[in-house]
Amino acid sequence: MSTTTSITLTQSSPGPCSSCAQQARALAEAHAQIEELESQIRILTLRATSAVEKATEYETSLRRLNSTRSHVGRQSVDSTGSTRPHSIQTSLITPVSPPRTAAGRLARLLPSRTASATPTHAPSAPIPTPLSVAALDLPIELSASALNSPSPSELELIEALSHEHELRKAAEDAAAKTNSEIEELTGQLFEQANEMVATERKARAKLEARVEVLEKRDGEKAKRLGVLETRVQRVERIRRLLKDESEVS
């Protein structure tokens, strides 16, 4: 009797063990997926560090360009400062012809002297001509054109500024793009990680509940086995008593 009951109980137990094995496999798969997500997060951190390094390189290049710009600006200021005094000196050196009104006044004050003097000995005041006026205006126009026309150093400065602006814009665009990509990827990874953690917790809770149920069943089975063993012992005692009575009779 006892042997048959124990055999039936051991045969009915493999069902829940197979479900436990499936749940354990699911947990192992969840752990593997979590490890994959962690590896992806590490890769993203490496990309972020590389992007930061690139941004620092762009900043150093921009600083170098700023230093070159300041150096070129100083050179251009020195060159313009050296050219302006030269133009002013040339304009001051050019002779200025007296105006026509001054010559007329002198002729009115001295009518006798001018009439008696011969044309060979009378000094005549120089009359300004369009050429002299043009000569007066020439250095001013030259200095203005020299100021308006850009020098080679100024052209280099303009090119450096445009190149710096382009580099800065490219660096800002690249940094914004990398930051947006990193934010999107981190958001996706955190969402996936949260989902995986939630599923793992649910699976763990199910496993714990299943284990509790199995433990309760095992306890109930042990109690039943104890009751059956006591009953078998009683039956054996009754048989022994019956045998003893039959032998005595």
In the chain the beta strands, taken as DSSP E runs, fall at: none
pLDDT tens digit string along 133-173?
444 444 444 444 444 566 777 788 888 888 888 888 888 89
Q: Taking the mean position of all CA atoms in its chain, how far away is CA 123?
A: 84
Q: How far apart are CA 26 and CA 31, in angstroms?
A: 9
Residue 108: per-residue pLDDT: 54
Segment 114-132 mean pLDDT? 45
- Does position 120 have pLDDT exceeding 50, yes or no? no
List, for residues 201-246, the tens digit of each pLDDT value: 999 999 999 999 999 999 999 999 999 999 999 999 998 888 888 8
Structure tokens at 73: 């600006």
**pLDDT of 80 strictly over 70:** no
**Percent of the chain surpassing pLDDT 70:** 60
Neighbours of 228 (CB within 10 A): 15
What was the pLDDT predicted at 8? 40
**pLDDT value, residue 41:** 83
pLDDT value, residue 74 = 67
Find the helix or strand (DSSP H, E) in which 207 lies: helix 152-248
Specify the residue for token string 């150096």. Answer: 71
Q: At what angle do helices 14-93 and 130-148 cross, to 10 degrees?
A: 160
Mean pLDDT, rounded, of the chain: 70
Query: How much is the average pLDDT of 182-186?
Result: 89
> Hey, what are 39's tokens?
């590896």
More reliable by pLDDT, 38 or 101: 38
Work out whether the CA dihedral 130, 132, 138, 140 comes out positive or negative. negative
Model pTM score: 0.32
**Residue 143: per-residue pLDDT:** 46
* H or E element at residue 72: helix 14-93
- What backbone phi and psi angles, to 5 degrees, belong to 119? -70, -15
- Per-residue pLDDT at 91: 43
Six token digits for residue 126: 């120089």
165 vs 86, higher pLDDT: 165
The residue that leads in pLDDT, 29 or 144, is 29
Q: Please list, residue by residue across 143-177, b when 16 or more beta carbons sit within 10 angstroms of its beta carbon and e when fewer do.
A: beeeeeeeeebbebbeebeeebeeeeeebeeeeee
Overall average pLDDT of the 176-197 stretch = 89
pLDDT tens for residues 45-54?
888 888 888 8
pLDDT reported for residue 227: 93
pLDDT score at 150: 60
pLDDT at 230: 93
d(CA 132, CA 140): 14
| Residue type at 94 in one-letter notation | T
**Does 98 or 219 have the greater pLDDT score?**
219
pLDDT value for 149: 62
